[in-house]
C-alpha cells in the first residue's frame, strides 16, 4: 500500500532544566541517562515512520529542545539525514535563551534547521523570575546575536502578557525591546492558567486576580505596536513580517505574511502531520494519535520496536470538517471556500451557512465570494465562533 507522504513533522523533546510556573506541557527534569535513552527511542521512532514521511515543515518543540547537548543533536540530525528526512523548507527548533550556544546553533543550521523559536516571555527580570524562567533579559540579547551569527535569518520570539504583576508600562517596555530586536516573527499570548500548574494554584489560592480589562488592553497594545513595527497578524497570537531586506516576498496565500510559520498553519488548516516523542500528537489519514506522555513508557515501547501510541481518535467526515473549520478561523485569513473544500470535501457555504450568517450579522465575521473570515472583533471571540462550527 502506498499513501501520499506526510509533509509535516513535529518532534517533542520533553526535558527542561526547570519547570515554569505556567507550563502544562509534558516535560520532566532532565537526567543525563534518560535523555540518552530518549534519543535512542526517538531515533527508533524516526525509523518507523520515515517511509511515509517527506517533511516540508519540521518543528522541534518542548520542553526545551535546546537542552539536548551537541552529541545528542548530532545523533538525531544524522539519523534524519540517513532517513532522508532533512531538507524541509521550514525547520524550526525551540530554544530557551539560557541554553543557546554558538556551537549548537551552528550545528543545527548546518543540518538544515532554518528557523528558531525563542521562548523569551518577558524582558522584565522580575516577571521572568515570577514565571520560573531560568533566563534573564541579558541572555535574550546575547542568544539572539548568537543565532544571527550562526546564520539564522528567521527567528521567532515568544512573549507573554497579562502575567500577574505585569503593568501596562512593563508590557509596553517588553514590546519595545522585542520589536527593536528585529525578529521575523512574533508569537504573543495571554497567560493561560492551566490546571496543575503553580500559577493556577496561586490563582485558586487568591494570591492575585485576573483582570480581564487589563488583558484586553494589553492585547490591543500588542496588535497596534506589532503592526506599527511592520508585523502582520495572521493568527490570534501570531505576527510575522511580510518582507525581508526590503524585497517583498510572495505570500503563499492571501492574508498570510511571508514569514508566517508554515508548520503551525498546517495545524490550523487541518493538514496531516506526524508527531514523534513523548506526548506528541499526530494527524495522519484522518486519525488523530497521541503518544504516551511518560518518557520511560515511551522508551520501553520503542525499545520493543513499536510506536508508543496511547490513544487514537477518528472522527466522521463531517465532524472532522467541522473541527477543521473551527480551528482555521483562528487565522485572520479565515477560510477560502475552495481551499476548505479541498481539505475537507465539505462546502462551508452549504453546511455552515446559518452559522456564518449569524456571525456576520453580529459583526464578528465577513465573507465575500472567495472566503469567510473573522473580523478583529470576532477574533476576540474565536472560541464562541468556533463552537458553532463543530458537528
Partner 1 sequence: MDATHIRNFSIIAHIDHGKTTLSDRLLHRTGTIATRDMEAQMLDSMDLERERGITIKAHPVTMTYTAKNGQVYELNLIDTPGHVDFSYEVSRSLSACEGALLIIDAAQGVEAQTVANVHLAMKQNLTIIPVINKIDLPHADVALAKTQLEDILAIPAETAILASAKEGIGIEDILEAIVARIPPPEPTGAASLQALGFDSYFDTYKGVVTHVRVFNGELKAGLQVKLLHSGKNVEVKEVGSFNPKPYIREKLEVGETGYFTANIKSPKEVKMGDTVTDARNPSPALPGFKEIHPMVFSGIYPINTADYEHLKANLAKLQLNDSAFVYQAESSVALGFGFRCGFLGLLHLEIVQERLRREYNMDIIATYPSVVYRVTMTDGTLKEVDNPAFLPEVNYIQKIEEPMVKAFVICPNEYIGDMMALIAEKRGAVDHTETLDSRRVMLTSLLPLNEILIDFHDRIKSITRGFGSMDYEHADYTESDMVKLDMLVNGESVDAFSCIVHRAKAESRGRALAAKLKEVIPKQQYAVAIQGAIGGKIIARETVSAMRKDVTAKCYGGDITRKRKLLEKQKEGKKRMKAFGSVNIPQEAFIEVLKA
- CA–CA dist 242, 250 (Å, integer): 8
* Closest distance of CB 237 from partner 1, Å: 6
Look at the block and give the residue holding cell 527567528: 155
The secondary structure of residue 70, as a DSSP letter, is: H
* Closest distance of CB 117 from partner 1, Å: 11
**Single residue of 145, 212, 227, 252 touching partner 1 by CB under 8 A:** 212
259 contacts partner 1 (rule: CB under 8 A): no
Contact stretch for partner 1 (CB under 8 A) within 40-48, 67-75, 224-232, 272-280: 272-280
Contact stretch for partner 1 (CB under 8 A) within 87-95, 146-154, 280-288, 297-305: 280-288
15 contacts partner 1 (rule: CB under 8 A): no
Phi-psi region of 137 (alpha: psi -120 to 50; beta: other; left: phi over 0): alpha
Secondary structure class of 161 (helix, strand, coil): strand
Contact stretch for partner 1 (CB under 8 A) within 13-21, 79-87, 283-291, 343-351: 283-291
* Closest distance of CB 355 from partner 1, Å: 11
Consecutive H or E run containing 224: helix 212-228
387 contacts partner 1 (rule: CB under 8 A): yes
Q: In this structure, what C-alpha cell is assigned to residue 136?
A: 534573564
Beta strands in the chain (DSSP E): 6-13, 15-16, 28-29, 53-62, 90-95, 115-121, 155-161, 185-190, 231-235, 238-241, 243-244, 247-248, 274-276, 281-284, 287-291, 309-314, 335-336, 365-367, 371-374
* Closest distance of CB 287 from partner 1, Å: 11
Phi-psi region of 202 (alpha: psi -120 to 50; beta: other; left: phi over 0): alpha
**Single residue of 111, 137, 148, 288 touching partner 1 by CB under 8 A:** 288
Site for partner 1 in 319-338 (CB under 8 A): 323, 326-327, 330
279 contacts partner 1 (rule: CB under 8 A): yes
* Closest distance of CB 42 from partner 1, Å: 17
User: How far apart, in Å, are the Cα atoms of 41 and each of 9, 10, 93, 278, 282?
Assistant: 16, 15, 19, 10, 17
- CA–CA dist 337, 313 (Å, integer): 26
* Closest distance of CB 282 from partner 1, Å: 8
**Single residue of 144, 267, 292, 352 touching partner 1 by CB under 8 A:** 267
| Closer Cβ to partner 1, 277 or 371, answer by number | 277
**Single residue of 170, 240, 302, 379 touching partner 1 by CB under 8 A:** 379
| Closer Cβ to partner 1, 105 or 131, answer by number | 131
Q: Which positions from 296 to 315 touch partner 1 by CB under 8 A, shown as an x/- string?
A: -----------------x--
90 contacts partner 1 (rule: CB under 8 A): no
**Single residue of 195, 196, 209, 213 touching partner 1 by CB under 8 A:** 213
10 contacts partner 1 (rule: CB under 8 A): yes
Q: Where are the alpha helices (DSSP H) in 260-352?
A: 262-268, 295-303, 317-328, 337-344, 348-351
* Closest distance of CB 288 from partner 1, Å: 5
Site for partner 1 in 171-210 (CB under 8 A): 189-192
- CA–CA dist 336, 348 (Å, integer): 9
45 contacts partner 1 (rule: CB under 8 A): no
**Single residue of 171, 283, 298, 340 touching partner 1 by CB under 8 A:** 283
Phi, psi of 259 (to 5 degrees): -95, 15
- CA–CA dist 243, 258 (Å, integer): 7
The count of residues interacting with partner 1 (CB under 8 A) is: 38
Q: In this structure, what C-alpha cell is assigned to residue 106?
A: 551552528
| Closer Cβ to partner 1, 150 or 186, answer by number | 186
Q: Where are the alpha helices (DSSP H) in 64-167?
A: 70-82, 102-110, 125-131, 137-149
383 contacts partner 1 (rule: CB under 8 A): yes
Consecutive H or E run containing 45: helix 32-49
Whether 173 and 123 have beta carbons less than 8 Å apart is answered as yes
Secondary structure class of 316 (helix, strand, coil): coil
Query: Where do contacts with partner 1 occur on this chain (CB under 8 A)?
Result: 10, 189-192, 212-213, 215-216, 219, 236-237, 264, 267-268, 273, 275, 279-281, 283, 288, 290, 313, 323, 326-327, 330, 379-384, 386-388, 390
Amino acid at each position: 500500500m502506498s499513501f501520499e507522504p506526510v509533509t509535516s513533522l513535529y518532534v517533542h523533546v520533553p526535558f527542561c532544566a526547570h519547570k515554569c510556573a505556567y507550563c502544562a506541557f509534558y516535560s520532566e527534569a532532565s537526567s543525563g541517562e534518560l535523555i540518552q535513552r530518549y534519543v535512542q527511542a526517538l531515533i527508533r521512532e524516526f525509523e518507523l515512520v520515515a517511509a511515509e514521511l517527506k517533511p516540508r515543515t519540521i518543528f522541534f518543540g518542548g520542553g526545551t529542545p535546546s537542552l539536548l547537548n551537541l552529541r545528542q543533536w548530532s545523533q538525531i540530525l544524522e539519523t534524519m539525514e540517513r532517513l532522508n528526512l532533512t531538507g524541509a523548507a521550514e525547520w524550526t527548533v525551540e530554544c530557551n535563551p539560557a541554553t543557546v550556544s554558538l556551537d549548537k546553533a551552528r550545528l543545527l543550521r548546518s543540518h538544515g534547521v532554518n528557523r528558531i523559536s525563542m521562548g523569551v516571555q518577558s524582558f522584565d527580570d522580575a516577571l521572568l523570575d515570577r514565571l520560573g524562567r531560568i533566563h534573564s533579559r541579558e541572555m535574550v540579547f546575547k542568544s539572539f546575536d548568537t543565532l544571527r551569527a550562526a546564520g539564522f535569518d528567521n527567528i521567532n520570539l515568544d512573549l507573554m502578557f497579562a502575567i500577574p504583576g505585569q503593568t501596562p508600562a512593563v508590557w509596553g517596555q517588553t514590546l519595545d525591546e522585542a520589536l527593536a530586536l528585529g525578529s521575523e516573527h512574533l508569537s504573543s499570548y495571554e497567560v493561560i492558567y492551566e490546571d496543575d500548574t503553580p500559577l493556577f494554584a496561586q490563582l485558586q489560592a487568591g494570591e492575585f486576580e485576573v483582570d480581564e480589562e487589563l488583558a484586553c488592553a494589553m492585547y490591543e497594545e500588542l496588535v497596534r505596536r506589532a503592526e506599527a513595527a511592520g508585523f502582520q497578524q495572521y493568527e490570534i497570537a501570531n505576527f510575522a513580517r511580510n518582507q525581508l531586506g526590503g524585497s517583498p516576498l510572495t505570500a503563499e496565500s492571501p492574508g498570510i505574511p511571508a514569514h508566517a510559520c508554515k508548520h503551525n498553519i498546517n495545524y490550523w488548516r487541518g493538514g496531516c502531520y506526524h508527531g514523534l516523542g513523548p506526548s506528541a500528537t499526530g494527524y495522519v489519514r484522518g486519525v488523530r494519535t497521541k503518544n504516551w506522555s511518560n518518557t520511560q513508557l515511551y522508551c520501553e515501547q520503542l525499545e520493543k520496536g513499536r510506536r508508543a501510541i496511547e490513544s487514537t481518535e477518528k472522527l466522521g467526515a463531517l465532524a472532522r470538517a467541522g473541527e477543521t473549520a473551527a480551528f482555521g478561523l483562528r487565522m485572520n485569513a479565515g477560510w477560502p471556500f475552495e481551499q476548505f473544500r479541498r481539505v475537507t470535501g465539505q462546502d462551508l457555504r452549504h453546511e455552515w451557512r446559518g452559522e456564518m450568517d449569524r456571525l456576520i450579522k453580529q459583526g464578528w465575521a465577513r465573507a465575500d465570494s472567495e472566503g469567510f473570515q473573522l473580523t478583529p472583533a470576532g477574533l476576540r471571540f474565536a472560541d464562541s465562533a468556533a463552537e458553532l462550527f463543530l458537528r
